[in-house]
Structures are given as C-alpha cells and as structure tokens.
Copies of this chain bind each other. A is one copy, B any other.
C-alpha cells in the first residue's frame, strides 16, 4: 500500500471521534472499525456511522462480537445495573469494565490490518479519565504492539512494523475536546452515555456522561448532545 493508511477503532464516542480527526489530520487515509457487542448503548453504533461519514472513511466495517455471552460487566450483562452518580470515578476498576475488551478489539483490527496491508491502528484509549481500565494504559498498548509484531506473517517476514497509535492517551477530557473542535469534530454526532433513554438522550449521571460533561465544562464549551434533564 503506497499511501499512508490506518485503521481507526471507532466506537461513536467523543474519544474515538477525536482520534479519527487526529489520524486524518496526520495525513492518514482512514478505515473505520466498529464493534457491536451487545452493549446497551447501541446509540453509539449510529453515532459511529455518522462520524465515519463526516470524515469520509474509505471503508467502515461493523463486527458483531458476542462479549455479552461472557457476562461480567454492566455494559454487557443485563443483570448488572449501570452505576450512577459515583463520587470518585477513577479510584477502582469499575463494573462497566468489559473483560479483555480492548484486547479483542485490537486483535480484530490487527487481522484487518494484515489483510489491508497497512501498519497503523489508532485507538482512542485514555489513561487519565479511565485509569481504572487496565487495557487503557500505555503498558498494555506497548505489550499488545510487541505481540502483534510476533503474531503476523507480514511483520515476521520483515515487511514492516505494526504500530498501535494512541494520540489521546495522556490528554485530559478538556484537551481532547479542544483538539477535536480545532480539527472540526462535530460533537453533536457523538454519543458517550452508558444508559441513554429510549429517545437516545444521555442520562447525565453515568461515569461516561460525568466525564464528558466535566470535560466540556473545563474546556469552556457547551456539550451539544441532548441530555434527559437538558444539561
């Protein structure tokens, strides 16, 4: 592949939309990959579609994975309630943690990268806001990258080196939002809430909403998405 191309893991949330904008700004032709895994916030899937269209991705692949069968997370297991109004979001691994989620996601992206013949995979993980998620930390990303270069035919044959790109890993939510606005991200297209109402409006109370609202507040901007209580 002669042009500079990359796969972007696109959830439909604020972080991955910004990551896509950064990849485009760095000159990459972008392929988007979105996972449907029985999560309750299926609004994210529609958001991912809107964002991919807005940024003219070359191809948008939707992968259905059955993480729900594994249970163990409030995002995938209907028997567990999504926590609301937690006072200290970053103090421990939250119940919304999905076992090995980013490992599974990056593994699919790696397979697609090998088929497409490209070397760069962007993922919008963030080690500050989600410090409770082990698979959002730089140490995990570095270990995955090393494994990827031992796992795949093209890398082992010396044709190149896979890189897992994490441009927002050390940014605060406010920094992410400011950078996205600079790059033309329309955050009205995104969806972050873990527990939206039937109309798709954000709850304003789950961890994702609270982090997002705090980020917009600290960035001195108003969040353009709709909230249940018109925040």
Stoichiometry, copies per complex: 2
Q: Give A105 Cβ to nearest chain B Cβ, in Å.
A: 9
**A115-148 with Cβ < 8 A to chain B:** 115, 134-135, 137, 139-140, 143-144, 146-148
Q: Is A72 an interface residue (CB 8 A)?
A: yes
**A86-102 with Cβ < 8 A to chain B:** 93, 97-102
Residue of A111, A135, A144, A151 with most partner-chain B CB within 10 A = A151
A112 CA to B134 CA in the complex, in Å?
A: 16
B70 near A99: Cβ-Cβ < 8 Å = no
Residues of chain B lying within 8 A (CB to CB) of residue A147: 103, 140, 143-144, 146-147
A69 CA to B60 CA in the complex, in Å?
A: 12
Q: Is A28 an interface residue (CB 8 A)?
A: no
Main secondary structure of the interface of A (DSSP, over half): helix
Interface size on A, residues (CB 8 A): 43
Which of these, B64, B100, B111, B157, contacts A70 with CB under 8 Å? B111
A104 near B108: Cβ-Cβ < 8 Å = yes
Given that A100-B110, A104-B104 are known contacts, is A150 also in contact with B157, CB under 8 Å in the complex?
A: no
**A34-77 with Cβ < 8 A to chain B:** 61, 63-67, 69-72
Q: Is A153 an interface residue (CB 8 A)?
A: yes
Top 6 A-B pairs, shortest CB-CB distance: A99-B114, A100-B111, A143-B147, A72-B115, A134-B156, A99-B111
A residues neighboring B (CB under 8 Å): 61, 63-67, 69-72, 93, 97-104, 107-108, 110-112, 114-115, 134-135, 137, 139-140, 143-144, 146-148, 150-153, 155-157
